[in-house]
Each structure stands twice: as C-alpha cells, then as structure tokens.
Amino acid sequence: MASSPQSFNKRQRERAKKEKAALKRERRQSKPEDGEDTEGPLDEDALLERFRVLNERHAAGTVTAEDFEAERQEIFGLLGLGEA
C-alpha cells in the first residue's frame, strides 16, 4: 500500500529539520573558542563549495526557501558579496 502525500511531506520536513540541526551543530563545533585566533583569510573555495551544496539541497527540496535564503546571505556576506 502506498503512503499518503501527507506522510511523505512530514518525512521530508523531519529530514530537513535533522539536516538543519546537523549543520548548526557542525558550525557550532567548528567555531573557535574564546581567545583562539581564527585562521587569517576565509577559504573562498570552501565557501563556494558550501554554496554549491546548498543549491543542490534546495533543488532537491531538502531545504526550505527560508533556510536557503538565510544561509545564502550568510555565505555571500562572508564572501563580501552582500549583507551578512
């Protein structure tokens, strides 16, 4: 028996929430502790790769429009291409 569209949509939302939580956890863990110096200039290639992955996840429907826009603005701000 096929599952209902509501069940599928709920699973999609739950998966997106888990992915978002994992990204937040990664960012939190990768932030330097107070007193630690950051490593000079930003790694532009890493930011562009992060943007590429974000675009792929958005196209696949695993990222909401709001989350996509927020992270896109953050990346662009770090790259100096827009407001952070």
Q: Where do the domains of the chain lie?
A: 5-31+42-79
Q: Phi/psi of residue 7, each to 5°?
A: -65, -40
With cut-offs at 50, 70 and 90, classify the pLDDT of residue 18.
confident
- End-to-end, the C-alpha distance of the chain in Å comes to 47
* 24-62 pLDDT, tens digit each: 888 777 766 655 545 555 688 888 999 999 999 999 999
pTM for this predicted structure? 0.50
Measured between alpha carbons, how far is 55 from 72 in angstroms, rounded to an integer? 9
Q: Of 7, 17, 25, nearest to 63 (Cα)?
A: 17
